[in-house]
């Protein structure tokens, strides 16, 4: 997909502010990160826009230097304290000093989204409201917004210490799920089936918040309670298929849903919530897919958004769809690949066009989706030293396999389920005719079993488990089974 002639004409001459996220990449961006900034800034520049990067440092900032080396910026604005509590005001003041009237504010990075809304408001740029971004980034505020709008949502309550335990039990009841109010990447998520587990879970989340920069960084968001505790949702079983939760990728323009699509996320391996496989198109009935899309669109509106691309994560429960979280950005992983290559809709380009306040109305391929694709990120089964990076050798020549890659090499220290949250050690993807959707999913399950059994790790004599406060809740591990799903 490429912009239409009308869209391309409207892009020319637009002034775009791009907010750097160098705080979280002090050593510079890895290969995938560089590819991302080339994609986004390249789109703006190729379309005739002028790009100004807001950066905390232009002298020895590796990320800024990567933008410059790749010729991805026209100008810079240096705001040393651009990640502090008053960052929005400082960035807006610096931008006003240039005398330039900016047309858009952009960042693809998760933690910077609320700052986009704040800067846009302060500069008078037409955009989604700061309040909407704040509500999406704060999971407890998300629940309250949905409840106020009459959109189904699980019981939830904020928590900041063990003093809240009895109130949580009285209001929510067991089982519960605990998570950082403003989390990322399935980190710091635990279940509690009784009071002891609830207390242990609260201590663990507080520990995670204190020791993980991804969880403690909330630019533009003021959290009253660092933890949100929710009613544990039970997902509907779809005839034993491996689906756990769903990604609903939506495109909005001027308050109207223009496109919606569902990707299946496979059930994670307990006791952790680390995602692994996904399938597109969805293997569940069309009726339930449409319910998910319609429900997630209601959630977007309830939070106050009116334009953009939204990566919505939801469960389909016995009572219907329930939101896990709203991400007002393009989704990660293979969702862009799926929607673009299999359905003809480019999520990234639509997101950037709506950022520029250029109308969008994407149309899927007329022939529909003709292929099914599965992508699986293999989680390391055990902890130790990897003896060989060859675990895909036995399956890579299957006719359905279209690619595979190793994220590790022989001799690397690897982390498995036996000690703590495991790491991804490789990726494999398969494709077949869409008429073979279910058989292809079942084949992928078999390929993954073979690949997992082929992982050769020299295990440590004594596993380096985290301390009790930093460990998983051991009493929960025995209760978690294959029906449990990642829910952040």
- DSSP-derived letter for residue 345 is -
- DSSP-derived letter for residue 235 is B
Q: List the beta bridge partners of residue 396.
A: none
Q: Range(s) for CATH 3.40.50.20 in the chain? A: 5-127
345 neighbors 258 (Cβ within 8 angstroms): no
pLDDT higher than 60, residue 476 = no
Q: What percent of the chain has pLDDT over 70?
A: 91
* Among candidate residues 124, 121, 224, the one with its CA nearest the CA of residue 132: 121
Instruction: Please give the Cα distance from 423 to 68 (Å, whole number).
Output: 33
Topology (CATH) of 155-231: Dna Ligase; domain 1 (3.30.1490)
Instruction: Please give the Cα distance from 470 to 200 (Å, whole number).
Output: 10
Instruction: Please give the Cα distance from 309 to 251 (Å, whole number).
Output: 5
106 neighbors 17 (Cβ within 8 angstroms): yes
Query: Among all chains, which residue has been given the structure tokens 């990660």?
Result: 332
Average pLDDT along the chain: 89
Q: How large is the average pLDDT for residues 306-315? A: 97
Topology (CATH) of 233-369: D-amino Acid Aminotransferase; Chain A, domain 1 (3.30.470)
Condensed to tens digits (0 to 9), the pLDDT of residues 43-88 reads 999 999 999 999 998 788 999 999 999 999 999 999 998 988 899 9
Sorting pLDDT into bands at 50, 70 and 90, what band is 40? Answer: very high
In 10 A of CB 479, how many CB atoms? 15
pLDDT higher than 90, residue 460 = no
Instruction: Please give the Cα distance from 227 to 316 (Å, whole number).
Output: 24
What is residue 474's predicted lDDT score, i.e. its pLDDT? Answer: 27
Q: How large is the average pLDDT for residues 408-429? A: 92
Condensed to tens digits (0 to 9), the pLDDT of residues 163-220 reads 999 999 999 999 999 988 876 656 778 889 999 999 999 998 888 888 876 666 666 5
Task: Give the relative orientation of helices 130-137 and 286-303 as an angle to the nearest 10 degrees.
Answer: 120
The burial class, CB within 10 Å (0-12 / 13-18 / 19+), for 54 is: buried
* Among candidate residues 222, 219, 220, 223, the one with its CA nearest the CA of residue 22: 219
230 neighbors 155 (Cβ within 8 angstroms): yes
Condensed to tens digits (0 to 9), the pLDDT of residues 313-348 reads 999 998 899 999 999 999 988 999 999 999 999 999
255 neighbors 241 (Cβ within 8 angstroms): no
Query: Among all chains, which residue has been given the structure tokens 């989340």?
Result: 205
Q: Take residue 343 and report the two structure tokens written for it.
A: 């359905």
Instruction: Please give the Cα distance from 64 to 72 (Å, whole number).
Output: 10
* Among candidate residues 247, 277, 280, the one with its CA nearest the CA of residue 378: 277
Instruction: Please give the Cα distance from 312 to 248 (Å, whole number).
Output: 5
* Among candidate residues 207, 234, 142, the one with its CA nearest the CA of residue 181: 142
How far from 303 is each of 122, 135, 203, 299, 311, CA to CA, in Å?
A: 20, 7, 30, 6, 14
pTM: 0.89
Q: How large is the average pLDDT for residues 221-232? A: 82
How far from 404 is each of 12, 342, 415, 472, CA to CA, in Å?
A: 40, 19, 20, 31
Condensed to tens digits (0 to 9), the pLDDT of residues 237-264 reads 999 999 989 999 999 999 999 999 999 9
Sorting pLDDT into bands at 50, 70 and 90, what band is 417? Answer: confident
Q: Range(s) for CATH 3.90.1170.30 in the chain? A: 371-461
Q: Range(s) for CATH 3.30.1490.20 in the chain? A: 155-231
Q: Take residue 247 and report the two structure tokens written for it.
A: 């990604």
Q: Which residues contact 235 (CB under 8 A, 6 or more apart)?
A: 243, 244, 245, 315, 316, 317, 483, 485
195 neighbors 443 (Cβ within 8 angstroms): no
* Among candidate residues 159, 241, 143, 299, the one with its CA nearest the CA of residue 445: 241
Q: Take residue 433 and report the two structure tokens written for it.
A: 């005719």
pLDDT higher than 60, residue 5 = yes
pLDDT higher than 70, residue 435 = yes
Question: What is the Cα Rg of the chain in Å?
Answer: 23
* CATH for the stretch 371-461: 3.90.1170.30
Range of lowest pLDDT (58-62, 121-125, 337-341, 426-430):
58-62
Q: Take residue 5 and report the two structure tokens written for it.
A: 């002639």
pLDDT higher than 80, residue 35 = yes
User: Torsion angle of alpha carbons 282, 286, 288, 294, nearest 10°?
Assistant: 100
What is residue 466's predicted lDDT score, i.e. its pLDDT? Answer: 44
pLDDT higher than 80, residue 485 = no
134 neighbors 118 (Cβ within 8 angstroms): no
69 neighbors 53 (Cβ within 8 angstroms): no
What is residue 84's predicted lDDT score, i.e. its pLDDT? Answer: 87
310 neighbors 296 (Cβ within 8 angstroms): yes
Topology (CATH) of 5-127: Rossmann fold (3.40.50)
pLDDT higher than 80, residue 222 = no
Q: Range(s) for CATH 3.30.470.20 in the chain? A: 233-369
Q: Take residue 472 and report the two structure tokens written for it.
A: 């998983």
* Among candidate residues 381, 377, 466, 467, the one with its CA nearest the CA of residue 424: 377
φ and ψ at 30, to 5 degrees?
Answer: -75, 180
């Amino acid at each position: 997909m490429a912009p239409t002639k009308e869209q391309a004409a409207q892009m020319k001459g637009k002034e775009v502010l791009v907010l750097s996220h160098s705080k979280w990449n002090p050593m510079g961006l890895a290969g995938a990160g560089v590819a991302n900034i080339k994609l986004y800034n390249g789109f703006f520049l190729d379309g005739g826009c002028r790009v100004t990067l807001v950066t905390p440092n232009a002298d020895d900032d590796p990320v800024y230097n990567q933008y410059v080396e790749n010729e991805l910026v026209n100008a810079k604005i240096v705001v040393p304290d651009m990640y502090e509590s008053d960052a929005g005001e400082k960035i807006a003041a610096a931008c006003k000093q240039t005398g330039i009237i900016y047309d858009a504010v952009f960042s693809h990075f998760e933690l910077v989204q609320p700052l986009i809304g704040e800067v846009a408001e302060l500069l008078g740029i037409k955009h989604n409201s700061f309040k909407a971004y704040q509500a999406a980034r704060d999971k407890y505020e998300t629940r309250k917004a949905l409840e106020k709008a009459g959109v189904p949502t699980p019981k939830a309550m904020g928590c900041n210490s063990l003093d809240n335990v009895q109130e949580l039990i009285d209001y929510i009841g067991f089982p519960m799920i605990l998570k950082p109010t403003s989390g990322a990447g399935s980190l710091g998520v635990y279940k509690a089936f009784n009071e002891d587990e609830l207390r242990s879970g609260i201590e663990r989340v507080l520990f995670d918040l204190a020791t993980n920069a991804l969880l403690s960084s909330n630019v533009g968001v003021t959290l009253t309670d660092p933890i949100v505790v929710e009613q544990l949702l039970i997902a509907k079983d779809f005839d034993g298929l491996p689906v756990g939760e769903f990604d609903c990728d939506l495109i909005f323009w001027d308050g109207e849903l223009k496109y919606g699509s569902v990707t299946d996320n496979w059930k994670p391996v307990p006791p952790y919530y680390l995602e692994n496989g996904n399938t597109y198109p969805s293997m569940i009935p069309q009726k339930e897919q449409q319910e998910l899309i319609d429900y997630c669109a209601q959630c977007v509106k309830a939070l106050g958004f009116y334009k953009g691309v939204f990566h919505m994560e939801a469960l389909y429960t016995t009572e219907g769809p329930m939101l896990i979280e709203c991400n007002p950005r393009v989704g990660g992983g293979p969702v862009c690949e799926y929607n673009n290559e299999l359905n003809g809709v480019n999520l990234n380009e639509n997101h950037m066009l709506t950022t520029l306040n250029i109308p969008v109305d994407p149309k899927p391929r007329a022939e529909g989706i003709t292929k099914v694709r599965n992508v699986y990120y293999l989680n390391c089964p055990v902890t130790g030293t990897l003896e060989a990076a060859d675990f895909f050798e036995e399956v890579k020549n299957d006719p359905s396999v279209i690619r595979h890659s190793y994220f590790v090499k022989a001799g690397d220290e690897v982390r498995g389920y036996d000690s703590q949250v495991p790491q991804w050690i490789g990726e494999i993807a398969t494709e077949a005719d869409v008429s073979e959707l279910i058989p292809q999913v079942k084949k992928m399950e078999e390929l993954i079993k073979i690949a997992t059994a082929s992982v050769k790790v020299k295990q440590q004599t004594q596993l380096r488990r985290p301390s009790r406060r930093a460990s998983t809740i051991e009493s929960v591990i025995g209760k978690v089974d294959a029906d449990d799903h990642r829910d952040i």
